[in-house]
Every structure is written in structure tokens, then in C-alpha cells.
Amino acid sequence: MTHSSTAGPSSPEGGPAPAAGPPGGDALLRAAIRHSAARCVALCLLTTAGAGTALLLPHALGRALDALLTGPTGGDAHHWLLISAALVAVGTLLDACEGVLTGTTAARTTAWLRHRLVRHVLDTGPRATTRFPAGDLVARLVGGTAQAGPAPATVAALAATLLTPLGAIVALGLVDLRLALVFLVGAPALAWLLRTFARATSDCVSGYLRAQGDLATRLTEAIGGARTIAAARTADKETARVLAPLPELSRQGLRMWRVQGRASAGAVTLAPLLQIAVIAAAGLLLLHHSLTVGELLAASRYAVLATGVGALVGDLGALVRTRAAGRRTAELLDVPPPRYGDDELPAYGGDLELRGVTVRRAGRTVLDRVDLTVPAGRTLAVVGASGAGKSTLAALAGRLADPDEGTVLLDGVPLPDLRRSALRSAVGHAFERPVLLGDTLADTIALGAPEDRVVPAARAARADPFVRRLPDGYATPCADVPLSGGELQRLGLARAFAHGGRLLVLDDALSSLDTVTEHEIAAALLDHTPGATRLIVAHRATTAARADTVAWLEGGRVRALGPHERLWRDPAYRAVFAGEDGPA
């Protein structure tokens, strides 16, 4: 194993993968609409047919009334009444079908958005949680997609909602052009009302979603630290911290209601005035025998349809909300997934090499021009004080993160050049706080590995005894198992052993084990993974002592590299293991 205090040449192969510009909120919603294209077309046809029946009904009623007033009961009157009844029946049926299709389209689109975004987040890996806190991430994936999902149905409904008043204006013109001109005098006021409403609603919804994400983040943090909060007796203080965004959430929510209320109030004020103006003009035309009574009835109904601002306000508000949610949700796509190549690893090996690796986080250099080589089959312990860069180095070794500068290679192949399957089958991971994934304990240990590896891996990780003591053994549901920190770590180690690979990365995966168990697992680590290269982030002197070589990190750089026994002579090195007795 070698290291150098000077930086090697940077390599673009080790840097973050370039990615094409991610789609914005509108682009994501357009993709959702394309995904539901067939349903959107059907919905547009239904809503257009519904608008058509609504526009034909006043004409049919007017003709029926004229027939009743000018001729004997029967004949044309019965004919137009039957047509009117048929239009009402067809309109009701279309409304029912539209309601069902709207709901199913929204549900399917929401599911598609969640699938796409969850897949992207999983492809992105830890990079997503680096930018978005867990609570905010879940809020976007669940709440954001639920609000963006109705976009296709909303667009289709808005098209029909616009068609109805436009068609009503045209129909007024067909009844008498002067009636349409009377209505158009007040149309600019309606347009201004809708534009103001859309702008204000967009701002309110964006603020509401931000406050909602902040609240979700704080709540998730509090749930994760529940034991610490209880032990410190700071529940009241933490409750106040979690609920701190509530006033902003309330303010934005009330603001949305006020904006919609003002728009509705404006519509309630303006619409009747326009309707009265149209009806008054129609009445004058009737007095001058330019209109029939039936045409007056039709004109009054068309005036109502033309001033359907209430429906426009509702649909426009829904569209604004879906766009705001779409923009916020699409921000998840701003984090590009790692790029993978097409290279394969040689048949045998395990050499790990870091060349001039530099990592920066939040403006701070975490690792600074690190050069490090771990020969195949050797065990390297990485030690250092908190913040020295140990976990970051472990993440780079298995490509859970990419360096900002430099290259990480496995058997001479830069990690970004490897196929995804080749990399993941070659590297196993175990963490300080492993997460139980899968339905049963057997599932969480296997997690894609062959089932016949589960029990041997659990035995090597000293998890088999406590698993067999459970009522259902390896078939025990994960949710029903109360586990200590050490038992949880042993399951994580068993998972890493089951997957095997030529490189095994243990990121503080032994910290919760008692000394005896840690000693047994350290011995099993060598027996169960013969020939594998092991990189172990160590916080115990006993763990470091069992490694072939120790890399001592300080300030993001390798301060020293060598056997634990030799490094132990340095008081500064011994200070890293505060509370330890000495080398084992």
C-alpha cells in the first residue's frame, strides 16, 4: 500500500458524470401528458362533447318555446322538447364518464410520476439525500406528485371550460351580433381578473409547498432522533422547532383562500353585470321585434355560459397548482444519476487505487488530493478524528459518491467506466446503521443474493443465533423484530458477506458490537471473504490492529500509512482512539 502527500494529475474519469439538462416542471408535466395521451384525447373528446351539448341546449329550448308560443301544442314543440331532454340526458352521461376518466387519469399519472421519480432517486443514490433532506424528499415524492398528477385531466378540462364561454359568445353572435358585442365590452375585465388570479395563486402555492417540505424535514429529523430527544428531555423544545413552519404554512394557505375568494368575488360581481347587460339588450331587441321570445331565452342562457368565470377560476387554479407542484417535484431531476460505462473487470483481482482524489462539500474540502493504493486481498483500516473524511473515502471506494477531482480505480479500471452490474457485484458494503429492506430477515440478508448464501453469511456475521431464537427464524417479518444496535449491524454484515465481491467496504460497521463479538467477526471476516480486499472505517484500536495497514486521515489528507503497532507510538495517533487501552 502506498500513498503520496502530493497530488497526482487529475482525471476527468473520476469527476461527477456530466448530464444533460434535466427537464423542468413544465417539461415533466408535458411528459406526463404524453404518457396519458390516449386518456387525454378521450377526456378532451368527452369534455368537448359535453360543451357541445351545453351549447346546443339553449338553442333547443328557445326553439321549443317559440313553437309553443306560435303554434298548437305538439308538432315542432314536442320535437324540440324531446331534443332538449335528450341533450340533458347525454350531458349527464358525459359528465359521469368525464368524472370517472378524470379520476383514473389523475391516479395513473400520479403513479407514473412517482415511479419515474423514485426510479431516478434510486439511480441517483446518496446524491439525492445529500441535496434534499429525507423529509423534503418524501414530501416531493408523495405530496408533490399527488398535486402534479391531475395535470393531464386539468389541461383537458380547462380546454373544455374555455370552449364553453367562447362557443357561447359565438352563439350570441349567431342569435344577434349586437348581443355578442355587448358582452365583449366587459371581456377585458374578465381576462384581467383571471390573469391576476393565476399569478397570485402560483406564488401562494410555491410558498405553501416550501413550508410543507420544511415541516416534513423537521418532523423526519425529530422521529429519527426520538430517543435522543427523550433522553435529553427536550421534547417541548423539539416540538416547537418542528412546528415552527406552521405559521408560514397557515399564512400561505390562508393567502390562497383569499386570492381565490377575491377572484370569486370579482367573478360574482362582474358576471351578473354582463348577464344583465346582454339580457337588457336582448329585451330591447325583442321590443323592436328583432328577436323572438325563444331567442331571448337562448341569449340569456348563452350569457350565463359565456360568463362561466367560476369554472374558469377553479380549473385555472388547479392548473396553477399542478404547475407549481410539477416545478418543485422536477427539482429532484436536477441531481443527475451517476454515469456508467461498458467496461468489465478482469477475472481476478481486487486492487483499489485512489489517484489525486479531492472531494468538496458545502464549500469545505473533505478530502484533499489523496493518493492511496490497497493491493488485492489486503485489509486497510481507515482511522481519524471526526470530520477527517473516513466515510467519504469509504463512499468513494464503492462509488456511492464521485470525487470532484481525481480518479478511483478497481483493478486498473476507473469506476465510472465500469458497467453498473460489474461494479455492484464486485463491491459489498456494510454500514453503521444498516436499513432492513425486504419483507423478512432472509430477504434483508439476501437482497438479491442467492438464498443458499443467507445462513452461511449470517453465521459468519454471528447473526444466526439470535435469528434462530425468533419464533419464525429467518421468516420473521422485519417490522416485527426489535433489534439492538449490535444485532442490526450483524444483519448488515451478513448482507455484505452474502453478496461477496472482490472489495468489501465496512463503514464503521463494527462500532455497536461488544468486544468479543467484534473479535469473532473480525476473524470470520478473513475466513469468509478469502482473497477479497477489505477497507474498514475503524473507530476502535482493536479493529485497526487486525488490519494489514492503517491509513491515518487528518484534515482530509493521509497523515501516515503503516502498521497499527508502529503508528501507536505516536501520541497523536493514540489520541484518535480516546478511551481505548491500546493495540490488540
How many residues are listed for the chain in this entry?
584
pLDDT of residue 580: 52
What pLDDT score was predicted for residue 10? 34
Residue 9 pLDDT greater than 60, yes or no? no
What is the pLDDT confidence band of residue 20, given thresholds at 50, 70 and 90? very low
3-state secondary structure of 546: coil
> Running DSSP on this structure, what letter comes out for residue 530?
T
For 151-201, write each residue's pLDDT tens digit. Answer: 888 888 777 777 888 888 899 899 999 988 888 887 777 777 767 776 777
Residues 73 and 122 in one domain: yes
pLDDT one-digit tens code per residue, 60-78? 998 888 888 876 555 678 8
List the CATH number of the domain containing 517: 3.40.50.300
And the C-alpha cell for 190?
A: 374578465
Distance of CA 342 to the CA centre of its chain: 29
Averaged pLDDT, 547-569: 91
- For residues 332 and 141, give the distance between their C-alpha atoms in angstroms, rounded to a whole number: 9
Lowest mean pLDDT among 142-146, 221-225, 339-343, 496-500: 221-225
Q: Is residue 18 packed enough to be buried (19+ CB in 10 Å), middle (13-18) or exposed (0-12)?
A: exposed
User: What are the phi and psi torsion angles at 49 (to 5°)?
Assistant: -65, -40
DSSP three-state, residue 192: helix
To the nearest 10 degrees (0 to 180), the angle between helices 151-175 and 293-306 is 150
pLDDT the model gives residue 264: 67
pLDDT classification of 313: cutoffs 50, 70, 90: low
DSSP state of 172: H
Residue 159 C-beta-side C-alpha neighbours within 13 Å: 15
Q: Which three cell numbers stand for residue 4?
A: 503520496
- Rounded Cα distance between 394 and 538, Å, is 11
Indicate if the pLDDT at residue 22 is higher than 80. Answer: no
| pLDDT for 158 | 77
Q: Which three cell numbers stand for residue 411?
A: 483493478
Same domain, 316 and 380: no
Beta carbons within 10 angstroms of residue 26's beta carbon? 13
The C-alpha cell that represents 272 in the structure block? 351578473
Assess if residue 531 is contained within a domain.
yes
Q: Is 406 within a domain?
A: no
Are 308 and 429 part of one and the same domain?
no
Evaluate whether residue 466 is within a structural domain.
Answer: yes
Last residue of a domain, one of 285, 308, 334: 334
Query: Tell me, what's the pLDDT at 87?
Result: 93
Predicted confidence at residue 479, as pLDDT, reads 78
Q: How far apart are CA 225 and CA 246, in angstroms?
A: 21
- The CATH number covering residue 320 comes to 1.20.1560.10
On whether both 386 and 250 belong to a single domain, the answer is: no
- Give me the mean pLDDT over the 255-262 stretch: 76
State the pLDDT confidence band at 353, using cuts at 50, 70 and 90.
Answer: very high
With respect to residue 340, please indicate whether it lies within any of the assigned structural domains. Answer: no
Query: Model confidence over 282-306: pLDDT tens digits?
Result: 899 888 888 889 889 999 998 888 8
Q: Do 428 and 562 belong together in one domain?
A: yes
338 or 15, greater pLDDT: 338
User: Highest-confidence range of 228-242, 246-260, 332-346, by mean pLDDT?
Assistant: 332-346
For residues 23 and 41, what is the distance between their CA atoms, to the nearest angstrom? 24
The DSSP letter of residue 418 is B
Distance, in Å, from the CA atom of 250 to the CA atom of 254, rounded to the nearest integer, reads: 6
Average pLDDT over residues 22-36: 78
Domain holding 450, by residue range, is 375-401+423-576
Highest mean pLDDT of the ranges 125-139, 232-246, 522-536: 232-246
Residue 410 falls inside a structural domain: no
Residue 367, beta-bridge partner list = 359
Mean pLDDT of the chain: 82
Query: For residue 8, is it within any domain?
Result: no
Q: Are residues 315 and 385 in the same domain?
A: no
> What is the rounded average pLDDT of the residues 348-371?
89
Asked whether residue 363 is domain-assigned, the answer is: no
- Considering the domain architecture, whether residues 320 and 436 belong to the same structural domain is answered as no
Q: Which of 255, 238, 380 is nearest to 317 (CA)?
A: 255
Inform me whether the pLDDT recorded for 15 exceeds 70.
no
Owner of C-alpha cell 432522533: 225
What are the grid coordinates assigned to 382, written together? Answer: 481507515
Q: Examine the domain organization and report whether 207 and 296 are in the same domain.
A: yes
Using alpha carbons, select from 247, 265, 149, 152 the residue that is nearest to residue 207: 247
Residue 432 shares a structural domain with residue 567: yes
The letter for the amino acid at 440 is T
> Does 380 share its domain with 328?
no
Cell (9 digits) for 96: 359521469
| Domain identity same for 321 and 458 | no
Pair 64, 213 in one domain: yes
- Of 280, 310, 334, which closes a domain? 334
Residue 249 lies in a domain: yes
Are the C-beta atoms of 60 and 87 separated by less than 8 Å? yes
Structural domains of the chain, count: 2
Contacts of 52 (CB under 8 A, 6+ apart): 167
pTM across the whole model: 0.70
